[in-house]
């Protein structure tokens, strides 16, 4: 569902909305994410959004970091920077610089 419909791009996405789409109770969906991915819903969505920003950073080198964060579903730059740095160990700008200079 996430890959097909790319729901994670919606900054207002909630566990309740995804659970409704899947026809599952929220608690069950939360448990499935914990059991299968070892993450919370918020962590899972952040991971998908970071992966989207990684793609956009390389495919759209002229696009601003702010525009890329927004396009990937992040509601704030601070959340974007924190999630990106946690996942990659570097800032989005450094990530882009490293991969585009290869």
CB-based contacts of 53, cutoff 8 Å, min separation 6: 68, 69, 72, 74, 80, 84, 92
User: How far is the CA of 56 from the CAs of 15, 62, 64, 70, in angstroms?
Assistant: 25, 10, 10, 11
pTM of the model as a whole? 0.93
If you average pLDDT over every residue of the chain, what do you get?
94
pLDDT band at 89, cuts 50/70/90? very high
The string of pLDDT tens digits covering residues 4-38 is: 999 999 999 999 999 999 999 999 999 999 999 99
Tens of pLDDT, residues 33-78:
999 999 999 999 999 999 999 999 999 999 999 999 999 999 999 9
pLDDT of residue 99: 86
């Amino acid at each position: 569902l996430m890959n097909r419909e790319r729901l994670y791009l919606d900054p207002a996405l909630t566990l309740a909305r995804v659970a409704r789409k899947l026809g599952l109770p929220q608690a069950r969906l939360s448990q499935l994410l914990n059991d299968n991915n070892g993450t919370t819903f918020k962590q899972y969505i952040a991971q998908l959004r970071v992966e989207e920003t990684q793609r956009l950073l390389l495919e759209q080198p002229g696009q601003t970091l702010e525009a890329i964060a927004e396009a990937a579903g992040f509601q704030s730059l601070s959340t974007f920077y924190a999630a990106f740095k946690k996942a990659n160990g570097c800032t989005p700008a450094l990530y882009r610089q490293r991969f585009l200079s290869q």
